[in-house]
Amino acid sequence: MTIVEKARDRYEHYEEQRRRIIQAAIDVFGEHNYDVGTMAMIAKEAGISEAMLYKHFSSKKELFMKCFEEIVGDLMSRYAQCYKSNTDDPLKYLEDSAVTYLRYIKESSTGSKFLVHLFSSTYDPELKEPLVGFFKASLETVQKALDLAKSKGQLSKKADTELLAWDYVGHYYSLMLAAEIGIEPMMDEKRVRAFVRTIFQR
């Protein structure tokens, strides 16, 4: 094996281990929240030593923030696919995005719980800032789609797109709550689509 190949193998091992750590952290924080979850718990979940964990992340907060970035990145990638499939129909894009989020919740229960627990960590300005930024960006994206729908005649000219955006984004958090407390009837794709259509009176 050449020096280059050895270096590549070490890098690939490092990256694979880092991905495993991030997923382990999402699982731990999702099950226990930021305050209760510890680096020792995450290391155990990832199957590595705590010393090795600190070679990847210098603090629990740094790792927590990285987990949030990973979850948001995953969701944005999924929403981008919804947009590509509905570039000429903004309301269908939002409808599909809501269903996509529901599927994410079902596929990644700890990822969803991580976002729920994030609300209990807003006492820390460094943890609150990215959540507020994500929420505002979500509202802005939804309102832009609604404004486009309005210009296309899909919504009433009197429609308050800012209020509709709040209703729509708020439904995402309702889905997280339904998943957290086990209200299965609310976790149905047809019902989610029906709810979104009702919001937009489509």
Q: What's the rounded Cα separation, in Å, for the pair 50 and 15?
A: 17
Q: What's the rounded Cα separation, in Å, for the pair 71 and 110?
A: 10
Span 92-109, average pLDDT: 94
Reduce the DSSP state of residue 24 to 3 states and report it: helix
Per-residue model confidence (pLDDT) at position 186:
86
Amino acid identity at 94: L
Per-residue model confidence (pLDDT) at position 13:
77
Per-residue model confidence (pLDDT) at position 119:
83
CATH topology of domain 61-200: Tetracycline Repressor; domain 2 (1.10.357)
- The 10s digit of each residue's pLDDT in 67-92 is 999 999 999 999 999 999 999 999 99
- The 10s digit of each residue's pLDDT in 128-162 is 999 899 999 999 999 999 999 999 999 999 999 99
Average pLDDT over all residues of the chain: 92
H helices within 109-201, ranges in order? 109-118, 125-151, 161-181, 189-200
- The 10s digit of each residue's pLDDT in 113-126 is 898 888 888 899 99
Who contacts 4 (Cβ-Cβ below 8 Å, separation ≥6)? none
Task: Kindly provide the b/e burial profile for residues 80-92, where b requires at least 16 CB atoms within 10 angstroms of the residue's own CB.
Answer: eebeeebeebbbb
Domain boundaries, the chain: 61-200
